[in-house]
Amino acid sequence: MKNHTRLDPDILRVGHLLADAARLETLAHFRSIDLSTDNKLAQGYDPVTVADRAAERAMLEILARERPDDAVLGEEYGAVKGTSGLTWVLDPIDGTRGFISGTPTWGVLIAIGDCDGPFFGIIDQPYIGERFIGGPGIATMTGPTGTHKLATRRPRDLSEATVFTTFPEVGTKAEGAAFAKVSQKARLTRHGMDCYAYALVAAGQVDLVIEAGLQTYDIQAPIAVVQAAGGIVTDWQGGPAHHGGRAIAAANADIHAQALEILKSCTS
C-alpha cells in the first residue's frame, strides 16, 4: 500500500458522493412490495434487483464525471478501464438475499485500490443510515447515535470470542467443516449478516468473520474498513484476500493466529 499513507481528500469526497447516490437508489426499492427479482443462475437463487442495477449505474455515472482516469470493477456491469493505476470496486448491494427479505444488514460496498489491494473503503447501510469508512488516517462510523471512531477489539482467547459467518449458506463441505471447528471453540457464533459483520469487527463488537466463496467486490471495502480500524484480513492461508475466495477478518493479530491455525490445518 505504498503512497497511501495519507488519503487523497478527493477520494473521500467522491466516496461520499457514491455512497449518497447508492443510498437514494437502493432505498427507493427497499421493502417495496413489487420488487422484481431476476434469477442470475440457472441453479440456486441469486436475486438481482432493479435496485442493484440502478445503484451501480448511478455510481458509474459519478465516477465517469468525477474520476475519469480511474478504472472501475462493478458487480453488475463489469469493468471500466482506466489510466491512473487506481481501481474503484463497487458492490451496489452486498447481501441481496437480505435486501429482498427486508432485513437491514445488507450494504453498499465502495473501495479503491491499486495492484496491492484496497486502501480506502466504505460500508454503507442506507436504511439505518450508517456509514463505516476506513482508509489512511481515517476510521469512523456515522449512524443514528452520531459519529464514532472505529477501533477493533483487544486480544482474547478464542473461547471468549464472537464469530460471524455466512455459513451454512456458502462454501464447500470441507470449508464448512473447517469453519465449524473454529465455531465450536468460540463463545458465540452468528449467521448471515453479509458485509455488516465486517463493519462490526471494525466497530469493536465482534472478533472474527470467516467466509468462503467470496467475489473480489464482496471483500475489498471490508478489507479497507477493518484494516483502518486496526484489524487484519487475509485468506485462510494468511495471504492476501482482496481477490475473493476464502477470507478471515480478525480484530487483532492474536485472534487471527488462533483461528488461522485451525483453518489452515483443515484446508491445505
The site for its own copies (CB under 8 A) is made up of 27, 31, 33, 45, 97-98, 100-105, 127-129, 144-145, 162, 164, 168-169, 187-193, 196, 200, 203-206
| Nearer residue to its own copies within complex by CB, 35 or 266 | 35
Prior bond of 168 cis (ω within 30°): yes
CB 267 to its own copies: min, Å: 21
Smallest gap from Cβ 200 to its own copies, in A, equals 5
- Shortest Cβ distance from residue 214 to its own copies (Å)? 18
- Give me the DSSP letters along 15-54: HHHHHHHHHHHHHTTTT-TT--EEE-SSSS--EEEHHHHH
Instruction: Look up residue 47 and give its three cell numbers.
Output: 436475486
CB of 12 to its own copies, least distance (A): 24
Residue among 162 and 220 whose Cβ is closer to its own copies:
162
Closest distance between its own copies and the C-beta of residue 225, in Å? 14
Least CB distance to its own copies at residue 254 (A): 18
Name beta bridge partners: 189.
163
Main-chain phi, psi angles of 54, to 5 degrees: -65, -40
Query: Nearer Cβ to its own copies, position 12 or 180?
Result: 180
Which of 90, 249 has the CB closer to its own copies?
249
Three-state DSSP at 202 gives helix
Nearest-10 crossing angle of helices 253-266, 173-185:
140
The contacts of residue 253 (CB under 8 Å, 6+ apart) are 155, 232
Residue in 61, 168, 59 with CA at minimum distance from that of residue 124: 59
Residue at grid coordinates 479503491: 112
In the block, cell 477489539 appears at 153
Give 102 or 239: the residue with its C-beta nearer to its own copies.
102
If the CB atoms of residues 108 and 200 are measured against its own copies, the closer one turns out to be 200
